[in-house]
Structure 1
Amino acid sequence: MRQLGACLINLIGDDKVQLREALREAIGKVNDLHRETCALTQEAVPASTVVIVRERGDALDYLVLSDNVLVLDLGTEGIRTVTDKRVDEVAGEEMQAALQGPAGTAEHTARVSALVTVQRRLRNQPGGYWVAATDPAAADEAIAGTVAREQVHQAALLTDGASRLVDSFGILTWAQLLGVLRTEGPAALIARTREAELADPACERWPRFKQSDDATAAYITADQPVAMPPGSLGSKKS
């Protein structure tokens, strides 16, 4: 993931390069680094979700691939969220079984393993879901768009482990999550998330595959330029 991020930083610094194009090229470059030492066609190769924002003149470009969340506060237009939930739409039967608790039991572990096996077969396949792994074509499946820079009052880039206080647990609204990031910072948001997870160790109040997930958050306000790396964020997928 670090190598992919480094490639993306270099590529998206050129405003003429579209974000999907940059992601496609970055995946190809990482492939080239490992082509002679790794079996790039295996189902279980490392993969990453991706969320990017880039300031380009008076515009803010964005790209989301897989289950990260981009939260945009557009002032009077309200809050817009951008995410790609196709991974939740495949393997429905296995998904429902894997959400049945209690977590930590051998039965639950076996159900989660069965889900992962099916998901890997559907990863980066038509009718499945897409992540940044070894297929550059995944970049073409990313959700990308542009909003006027002046519309964006604040924004958050979140892995699914950092968004769950809203979209999984229902403890916060998106506006409240932005408020936590603004006044307390990303570390406080993640600490609150861990506190909630620890209060439900068996994953029965809030059904999920494991107690905790990778949690990363980045926060941007209207009065600060988008820093380098320009909002590039990912979560490693096994």
Structure 2
Amino acid sequence: MQISAASAPGSERANEDGVFVGLNSVVVLDGLSAPKDLPMGCEHGTPWFVREMGVRLLAAAEAGQPLSPSLADTIRDVAGLHSGTCSLEGGAVPATTVTVLRERDDQLDYLVLSDSVLLLDGSAGLEVLTDKRVDDVAGSLAADALAVPGGSSEQAARISALVTAQRQVRNRPGGYWVASTDPTAAEQAITGSVPRSAVRRAALLTDGATRLVDTFGELSWTELLDLLQEQGPATLIERTRQLEESDPVGARWPRFKRSDDATAACRTFITQ
């Protein structure tokens, strides 16, 4: 599988995204950021968690194993790596979104857990696969955090209140689901298979790489795919950064972070 990919941090902090590419599979992860003033039960941190998850999940995908059970096994295995050193009870633990695309014989298998985006463009049109249940959690607190200048101490306090509320319903019925310590979260993933011949191009995107569409309204999903195909993922991220820098405090485009970690991977298929 020939993949074009790019990933860049949104700040001076370590990149909490990850992209992992094999011969037939690609895995894109978006680690959930934790405000510095909130407790964290893991001493290793989110970038470590994302790396361990990505390497193991890619290996399972490359081995041809079913994607949802593979994700459950990966969550269980990574939890076992640090259950003896870290406090993994409750919500104060690393977590990540998960997007996987695998080429298998004449099929494409996919998995999407949480709010990263998988785009499949082909004979049936453009399909946008994502799970936005997190947006339904603590909506009033989210609105409060977006109502004050970005980067201000007031916004930081409101984001901490939002994340605290989100943690209380993370990986619970009626809440939203991510890969963390509970293997049953894998059962909540969007999964499926499509004929490879029916797909012309595909993209896997963390939410930091979808801002040109869903935050800034500068592109449609089709135009974003065109940009990826013609100029590559690095250009997508560069254009995103330009708009972020033009609106540093979110006056025009309210958002939780001035710049977010951004990762994009794209694949164009040759059709006969």
Query: 3-state SS of the aligned residue for 1:172?
Result: coil
Output the amino acid matched with 1:13.
Answer: E
Give distance in 1, aligned partners of 2:260 and 2:167. Answer: 18
TM-score (norm. length: structure 2): 0.79
- Counterpart in 2 of 1:229? none
The counterpart of 1:6, out of the listed 55, 66, 79, is 55
Give distance in 1, aligned partners of 2:151 and 2:54. Answer: 33
Alpha-carbon shift at residue 186 of structure 1 (Å) = 0.6
Q: Does 1:32 find its partner at 2:80?
A: yes
- Counterpart in 1 of 2:186? 139
Alpha-carbon shift at residue 101 of structure 1 (Å) = 2.6
- Counterpart in 2 of 1:88? 135
Can you list the C-alpha shifts for 1:88-138, whole angstroms capped at 9, x where unaligned? Answer: 111111111111131122222211111011011111111111111111111
Output the amino acid matched with 1:94.
Answer: L
Output the amino acid matched with 2:230.
Answer: T
Report 1:146-225 matches (<5 A): 146-223=193-270
Give distance in 2, aligned partners of 1:12 and 1:217. Answer: 19
Task: Say what the alpha-carbon RMSD is for the aligned residues.
Answer: 1.3
Q: Does 1:66 find its partner at 2:114?
A: yes
The counterpart of 1:52, out of the listed 89, 92, 100, is 100
Output the amino acid matched with 1:175.
Answer: T
Q: Which has the higher strand share?
A: 2
Give distance in 2, aligned partners of 1:116 and 1:137. Answer: 22
Q: Which runs of 5+ in 1 are unaligned?
A: 225-238
Alpha-carbon shift at residue 204 of structure 1 (Å) = 2.1
Can you list the C-alpha shifts for 1:15-52, whole angstroms capped at 9, x where unaligned? Answer: 3x221101000111111111211111142111111000
Query: 3-state SS of the aligned residue for 2:229?
Result: helix
Give distance in 1, aligned partners of 2:206 and 2:255. Answer: 15
Q: Does 1:130 find its partner at 2:177?
A: yes
Moved over 4 A (4+): none
Alpha-carbon shift at residue 223 of structure 1 (Å) = 3.0
Report 1:93-104 matches (<5 A): 93-104=140-151
Output the amino acid matched with 1:10.
Answer: A
Alpha-carbon shift at residue 55 of structure 1 (Å) = 0.9
Query: 3-state SS of the aligned residue for 1:153?
Result: strand
Give distance in 1, aligned partners of 2:60 and 2:157. Answer: 41
Query: 3-state SS of the aligned residue for 1:216?
Result: strand
Over the matched positions of the two proteins, sequence identity in percent amounts to: 55
Give distance in 2, aligned partners of 1:25 and 1:189. Answer: 33
Q: Which runs of 5+ in 2 are unaligned?
A: 1-49
